[in-house]
Amino acid sequence: MSAISDAALTYLADWLDVKSAVDNASPHTLQAYQRDVLGFLGFLTQHTATVGGRDSLAAITVHDMRAWMAHLRGQKIAPRSLARKLSSVKSFYKWFAKREGIDPTIVLSTKAPKFQNKLPRPLAEDAAMDVIDTIELQSTTPWIAARDTAVITLLYACGLRISEALSLTGKAAPLAKTLHITGKGGKDRIVPVLQIARDAVEDYRRLCPFDLGSGDPLFRGARGGALTPRAIQKVMQNTRMQLGLPATATPHALRHSFATHLLSAGGDLRSIQELLGHANLSTTQAYTGVDTARLMEVYAQTHPKAVGS
The catalytic site residues sit at 161, 184, 252, 255, 278, 287
Chain-centre distance for alpha carbon 240: 22
Cα(224)–Cα(254) distance, integer angstroms: 26
Give the pairing of strands 188-192 and 178-182.
antiparallel
Whether 216 contacts 169, CB under 8 Å = yes
Cα(110)–Cα(205) distance, integer angstroms: 53
Element (H, E) at 301: helix 292-302
- Cβ-based neighbour number of residue 146 at 10 Å: 22
Per-residue DSSP letter, 236: H
Whether 154 contacts 293, CB under 8 Å = no
**In terms of C-beta density within 10 A (0-12 exposed, 13-18 middle, 19 or more buried), how is residue 242 classed?**
middle
Whether 158 contacts 136, CB under 8 Å = no
Whether 25 contacts 67, CB under 8 Å = no
